[in-house]
Amino acid sequence: MVILNHTFQGRPKSVEAKAGSDGISIMSLILVFHNDGTGIEEASNYDVEVLIGDGTRAGSRSLCKARVEGHDRSQPWWELVLAFLKKMPSTRKRLRNV
């Protein structure tokens, strides 16, 4: 399982998050890539989930889920992230030439 966790500050409107003493909320955007073991030696299949919350799985809520199949294991990790992003409708057009 690969977890990319990015913490950022903001004033969320629809997501509950911990507020600091200055009133600014601290939230984490978490991308979870789970290799489900159904691939072959050269390629892997992943279930992907995007979470937002306090930086933990338990304290976060799911924004979306997707599946990436046939990821070439010889490629760097960011190629897996790009493959996931290309599955998202809002980014598909923007990432067409990447």
68 has pLDDT over 90: yes
Percent of the chain with pLDDT over 70: 65
In whole angstroms, give the CA distance from residue 31 to residue 19.
22
Residues 6+ apart with CB under 8 A from 64: 49, 50, 88
Q: How confident is the model at residue 41 (pLDDT cuts 50, 70, 90)?
A: confident
73 has pLDDT over 50: yes
8 has pLDDT over 70: no
Q: How confident is the model at residue 15 (pLDDT cuts 50, 70, 90)?
A: very low
Amino acid at position 35, single letter: N
Mean pLDDT estimate for the chain: 76
pLDDT digit string (tens) for 21-39? 555 567 888 889 999 999 8
